Amino acid sequence: MPQSFLWEALGGLGLFILGMKFMSEGLQKLAGERLRQSLEKTTGNRLSAALMGSCLASLLQSSSAASILVVGFVNAGLISLYQALGVLVGTGIGTTLAIQFIAFKVSFYALPVIFFGVIFKFFGRRRRWVYVGDLLLGAGLVFLGLQIMETGFVPLTQTALYQGFQNRFFSWRISAVLSGAVITFLIQSSSAATGVIIALAGSGLLGYEVGVAMVVGEVLGTSLIAVIASINGTLAAKRTALVYFIINTFAVVVVLLFFPLFLKIVHLISPGEAEFTITNVSPGNFPPGTRPNIARHLANAHTVFSVLSAMVFLPLLGFFTRSATVIVPGREGGSDMEPRTKYIDRRVVNTPTIALLQAKNELKRMAGIARSMFDDMVEQFYRYDAKRSARIQQKEEALDILQRDISGFLVLISRQPLDSDNSMEIPIMLHIVNNLEHLGDQTESILECLSRKKEERILFSNAAMSELKALAAKVAELVHLSLESLDDRTGDNLNIARTLKDEIINMQGRMNNNHIKRMTSGKCTVISGLVYGDIISAFNKIAEYAFNIMKTEKELF
């Protein structure tokens, strides 16, 4: 095989994968907020879950990428095992839509489509036209890359090395199935893997039956990717991935047992003979040596497999969900206050819409920890508890770690191709994260003052203590309003927060005046006065940070 043909095949593969990436990004940007809202509203209905999985795989142009995301959702507690299995079963149907698109032999139009894609992408005045440009450019590159791959692979069919390898290795269908799984695992995209198989079969390198077996084997590669993605995840994530792998393995085994019947079904719904080969004359712009019909046969094989799998396994989701606890026994542990991220997964950074959804969920969790920490601190005014102090310290450490990890995750997202809306969200979220961490720092400062008061037996007058409790209650109102608004964004909370902030400022003014009077009258010692002043100052900063969060979240949500 001449070296030029090898580079032609590899170059075509590169163009094909690049085209898939452009198409995926264009579809995601066009879907935008609708995709995020759909993910947030995934229900327990098995049909709607399967539909969600289909849409997700279509947008990502890969069931492998979709399966990683779904495992991540389970790991984060966003969806249940039952919902996840429904979504995963649906990803196969979504992938088959992309594969059917790839199977269209329209390479003649590839260059015009690329041209118009570039025009829209670089000269479009509206964002939507730019996203359409990404989509068209990707589609053109997919068709062009596929044609170049097929042309580059054709000369390999004449080599003795290939003939020996074909006869020995692919004589067993299981070898073809495993090859399809390996290709999918290596490329990390089932759609791209199918494109490679279509190119190999279209050039004559693969026989029809071998190609079908490899397409069927792709689902094993996809489910294996999901299993690996769940290794460091929660028990629910591991159950989801393993049950998904078992479902796909069972489906592949059944197809292999009835393989001749499966081939007949595919042949009935596919046009022409699968292994018909173009000779010298090329009807329809097909290069000599290629097979114009086999792409549609392979795409239809994937469709039949995915649809039949969904029809068989969707009604059995309840059974598989119950069986998961037997297959992977154990009980979930851990706490929502753990000093580690729960929702974000760096593997989804290449999908900014979903990555930002994960960051928002982690941000809400961080806000919950900050609120719990503040409430625990306020309780110390009424009854000091050393164990509670230790819990507050642990929550402060958790806030520090979450600030670091969420900020790092947002920076990674910012390096991806983003639309203007997503680009604006990142600095806003960073601002909220920093304010939450500062709020935690000031809460810890008040705790240190109370600990010092306890250890050094510093006494406050009854009036001073009553004032501090009243201030703590008022600041708590503002903190609760601000942090709860991250979940409940109804009503005119900003004006309420502004009123509370003004009341807090007035209270602090009165407290400072009363404090000076107590100092001059001798009712308060110098040391107690300093501690009292530090507590007031920290409460003032907490109110400021809470109000900043309220103002910023209006822009984000």
Question: pLDDT per residue over 211-226, tens digit each?
Answer: 899 999 988 988 888 8
- Give the pLDDT score at 512: 84
DSSP state of 231: T
Burial class (CB in 10 A: 0-12, 13-18, 19+), 278: middle
What DSSP letter does each residue of 529-546 carry, written as one string?
HHHHHHHHHHHHHHHHHH
- Give the pLDDT score at 195: 82
Contacts of 458 (CB under 8 A, 6+ apart): 452, 525, 527, 528, 531
Q: Which two tokens stand for residue 97?
A: 């839509």
Q: Rounded to 5 degrees, what angle do the CA atoms 35, 36, 37 make?
A: 95
What are the Cα distances from residue 373, in Å, to 58, 142, 170, 366? Answer: 43, 53, 62, 11
Q: Decide if 57 contacts 63 (C-beta within 8 A).
A: yes
In this structure, of 46-50, 340-344, 366-370, the range with the lowest mean pLDDT score is 46-50
- Give the pLDDT score at 547: 92
Q: Which two tokens stand for residue 245?
A: 């792998």
Q: How far apart are CA 150 and CA 302, in angstroms?
A: 20
In this structure, of 94-108, 182-196, 307-321, the range with the lowest mean pLDDT score is 94-108
Which is more confidently placed, 35 or 297?
297
Among residues 25, 286, 11, the alpha carbon closest in space to that of 145 is found at 11
Tabulate helix, strand, coil % of the chain (nearest 5).
80, 0, 20
Q: Which two tokens stand for residue 414?
A: 């910012």
Rg (CA), the chain: 30
Q: How far apart are CA 461 and CA 29, in angstroms?
A: 61
- What is the mean pLDDT of the segment spanning 32-48? 61
Contacts of 312 (CB under 8 A, 6+ apart): 251
- What is the mean pLDDT of the segment spanning 362-385? 92
Among residues 214, 141, 13, 165, the alpha carbon closest in space to that of 5 is found at 13
Percent pLDDT > 70 in the chain is: 83
- Give the pLDDT score at 43: 53
Looking at the predicted structure, is the pLDDT value of residue 402 above 90? yes
- What is the mean pLDDT of the segment spanning 7-16? 80
**C-alpha 245 chain-centroid distance:** 20
- Give the pLDDT score at 390: 92
Mean confidence (pLDDT) of the chain: 81
Looking at the predicted structure, is the pLDDT value of residue 31 above 80? no
Q: Rounded to 5 degrees, what angle do the CA atoms 313, 317, 321 make?
A: 135
Which is more confidently placed, 266 or 4?
266
Q: Where does the pLDDT of residue 395 fall: very low under 50, low under 70, confident under 90, or very high at 90 and above?
A: very high
In this structure, of 91-105, 112-126, 325-339, 351-365, the range with the lowest mean pLDDT score is 325-339
> How crowded is residue 45: how many other Cβ atoms within 10 Å of its Cβ?
12
Q: Which helix (H) or strand (E) element contains residue 211?
A: helix 208-229
DSSP state of 220: H
Q: What is the largest CA-CA distance in the chain?
A: 110
Residue written as tokens 């009165």? 510
Q: pLDDT (tens digit, 9 = 90+) per residue, 74-96?
A: 876 667 888 888 888 888 888 88
Percent pLDDT > 90 in the chain is: 23
Among residues 99, 117, 281, the alpha carbon closest in space to that of 196 is found at 99
- Give the pLDDT score at 174: 84
Q: Which two tokens stand for residue 463?
A: 């009036």
Residue written as tokens 């008022």? 474
- Give the pLDDT score at 169: 54
Q: How far apart are CA 380 and CA 392, in angstroms?
A: 10
- What is the mean pLDDT of the segment spanning 17-31? 75
Which is more confidently placed, 86 or 486?
86
Q: Which two tokens stand for residue 146?
A: 């596929």
Q: pLDDT (tens digit, 9 = 90+) per residue, 92-133?
A: 888 888 788 777 766 667 888 889 889 988 888 787 888 888
Looking at the predicted structure, is the pLDDT value of residue 541 above 70? yes
- Give the pLDDT score at 412: 92
Q: How far apart are CA 124 and CA 146, in angstroms?
A: 27
Q: Where does the pLDDT of residue 503 fall: very low under 50, low under 70, confident under 90, or very high at 90 and above?
A: very high
Looking at the predicted structure, is the pLDDT value of residue 59 above 60? yes
What DSSP letter does each residue of 372-401 carry, written as one string?
HHHHHHHHHHHS--HHHHHHHHHHHHHHHH
Q: pLDDT (tens digit, 9 = 90+) per residue, 154-187?
A: 666 555 545 555 555 555 678 888 888 988 888 8
Contacts of 28 (CB under 8 A, 6+ apart): 35, 59, 60, 351, 352, 353
DSSP state of 222: H
Q: Where does the pLDDT of residue 543 fall: very low under 50, low under 70, confident under 90, or very high at 90 and above?
A: very high
Give residue limits of the domains in the chain: 3-154+162-327, 346-556
Q: pLDDT (tens digit, 9 = 90+) per residue, 423-455?
A: 888 999 999 999 999 999 999 999 999 998 888
Q: Where does the pLDDT of residue 40 fall: very low under 50, low under 70, confident under 90, or very high at 90 and above?
A: low
3-state secondary structure labels for all residues of 425-494: HHHHHHHHHHHHHHHHHHHHHHHHHHHHHHHCCCCCCHHHHHHHHHHHHHHHHHHHHHHHCCCCCCCCHH
Q: Which two tokens stand for residue 305?
A: 């497999």
- Look up residue 418 and give its amino acid: L
- Give the pLDDT score at 253: 93
- What is the mean pLDDT of the segment spanning 382-387? 88
- Give the pLDDT score at 440: 94
- Give the pLDDT score at 286: 56
What are the Cα distances from residue 94, in Å, to 68, 284, 429? Answer: 15, 29, 32
Q: Decide if 243 contacts 89 (C-beta within 8 A).
A: no
Q: How far apart are CA 153 and CA 16, in angstroms?
A: 14
- Give the pLDDT score at 347: 74
Alpha-helical runs (H) found in 41-172: 46-60, 63-76, 81-103, 110-123, 127-153, 160-169
Q: Where does the pLDDT of residue 273 fall: very low under 50, low under 70, confident under 90, or very high at 90 and above?
A: confident
What are the Cα distances from residue 477, in Å, to 60, 431, 485? Answer: 43, 21, 12
CATH code for the domain defined by 346-556: 1.20.58.220
The reported pTM is: 0.72
Q: How far apart are CA 115 and CA 136, in angstroms?
A: 9
Q: Which two tokens stand for residue 418?
A: 């983003």
Phi and psi at residue 425, to the nearest 5°: -70, -35
> How crowded is residue 271: how many other Cβ atoms within 10 Å of its Cβ?
10
- Give the pLDDT score at 94: 82
- Give the pLDDT score at 45: 66
